[in-house]
Amino acid sequence: MIILGAPFQQQLSWPLRTVRLLGLIVLLVNIARVAPRPGWQGQGLAVVITLSLATAGWQLWLASDWLPRYAVTIAWVLIGVPGGVLAGLSPHSGAIAFPAVALTDAGARLAHRRTFALGVACTAGVLAGHLAAGWRFAVPHLLLLFACALLGTLRWQYVQRAEQSELLLSNAEYAAQEHARAATLAERTRIAREIHDILAHSLAALSVQLKAIDALVEDGAGADRIRPWVGRAEQLTNEGIVETRRAILALRGETLPLEQLLVGILGVYREQDGAAAEFRAVGDPVELPADIAMTLYRTAQEALTNVRKHAPGSRVETELRYRPGEVELTVVNRVPERVGAPAGGDQGVAGLAECGTGYGLAGMRERAEAVGGLLDAGPHKDSWRVHLRIPL
């Protein structure tokens, strides 16, 4: 966007160019009719020379749009300095308009140092002219030049502030767009994480059940042997539907019954795996935001899935602890000697890769980081411990 008055960017419209041309004609007529008039000797000759230079600079100023950028600087010097001398030589005319116009336009389009330098040159020209013709109008002329330079400088400052405001507005709009884009990507990641968990904990198990049923059918098993597997498949399907509803509630920001959910999945673990599972809540319960509650629930769910894969039948202890300003979840399972405890988190991920998507432990860490939490998963004495801490 081009702002009127910006350095070397002002494009003159034809009406404005016409007004400036008419102003030059008026000045020429005025100066020609006021003593000392142009002549070929003495002050008349000095008037002719200075008027010619100032007029040439004015014409160059009018044509600066089609000339190199430095042409406008030359125009200001020619208008201001010889015009200042002419103002001193012909104090009763309007010649002071030459340096006044040059300083006003330059002040609006140049930095302060360059405007000051041009102002010094114009002042020297005016003083030189008054030195030859008298000092009667010297002070008014100098005050007028100072006022014009100040007016141009104020215009320059206004333009700079306008450009800075436009830049700040543009940056703010860009930042808002990037913020919206980041929020969209974060929401997509969150939805993808929920889809993964639903698939990993419901559809993957359902696939195993269906394969088992298919194997039983191929072996010629009777209905009595197949029916429990079909019932289990139906149960997994219903659980998947329930998990989907819970994910939708979390995405909508609605409150989740966290402790009830934890007790529920531990009950399923006891029933299906025939293993001991305990849950305890410590501290004064507080209402947790939906995203934090879902993160805690998914972490416990993923931890139980890993127990089934790597240490089936082992005892599981789950603790939900409320502390001032934070909440903690700890899931500990004793690793049977026949299975062996993984050496670290990376090997745990490798085990998951063999049994499923391999995204479980990484997904838990991503969930924790998304809500500002910290997840620690690894061997702890003769057990495997998953510990999640989330600030509130």
Q: Alpha-carbon distance 307 to 269, whole Å? A: 10
Q: How far from 287 is each of 184, 245, 246, 329, CA to CA, in Å?
A: 27, 20, 17, 15
pLDDT digits over 26-60, tens only? 888 888 888 888 888 888 899 899 999 999 999 88
For residue 113 the two structure tokens come to 């140092």
Nearest residue to 386 via CA among 268, 306, 290: 306
380 φ/ψ angles, rounded to the nearest 5 degrees: -140, 100
Handedness of CA 52, 56, 57, 58 (dihedral sign): positive
Cα–chain-centroid distance for residue 278?
A: 47
Q: Which CATH architecture has domain 255-392?
A: 2-Layer Sandwich (3.30)
Q: Alpha-carbon distance 354 to 346, whole Å? A: 13
Q: Residue 270: is its pLDDT beyond 90? A: no
**Would strands 326-334 and 316-323 be described as parallel, antiparallel, or unpaired?**
antiparallel
Q: How far from 275 is each of 144, 189, 270, 332, CA to CA, in Å?
A: 98, 35, 5, 13
Q: How far from 368 is each of 37, 191, 327, 328, CA to CA, in Å?
A: 90, 15, 12, 11
Provide the residue ranges of all domains of the chain, joining segments of one domain with +. Answer: 14-174, 255-392
pLDDT value of position 349 = 33
Q: Which residues pair with 378 in a beta bridge?
A: 385
329 φ/ψ angles, rounded to the nearest 5 degrees: -125, 130
pLDDT digits over 175-213, tens only? 888 888 887 777 677 777 667 666 666 776 777 778 888
Cα–chain-centroid distance for residue 214?
A: 54
Are residues 123 and 147 in contact, defined by beta-carbon separation less than 8 angstroms? no
Q: Residue 357: is its pLDDT beyond 60? A: no
Q: How far from 47 is each of 38, 77, 378, CA to CA, in Å?
A: 5, 17, 96
Instruction: Give the whole-number percent of the chain exceeding pLDDT 90.
Output: 15
SS3 of 157-196: the string is HHHHHHHHHHHHHHHHHHHHHHHHHHHHHHHHHHHHHHHH
Taking the complete model, does pTM exceed 0.75, yes or no? no
Higher pLDDT among residues 254 and 348, named by residue: 254
DSSP assignment letter at 392: -
pLDDT value of position 360 = 67
pLDDT digits over 113-144, tens only? 888 888 899 999 999 988 888 888 889 999 98
Q: Alpha-carbon distance 363 to 361, whole Å? A: 5
pLDDT digits over 286-342, tens only? 888 888 888 898 899 888 888 888 888 889 999 999 999 999 999 998 876 654 433
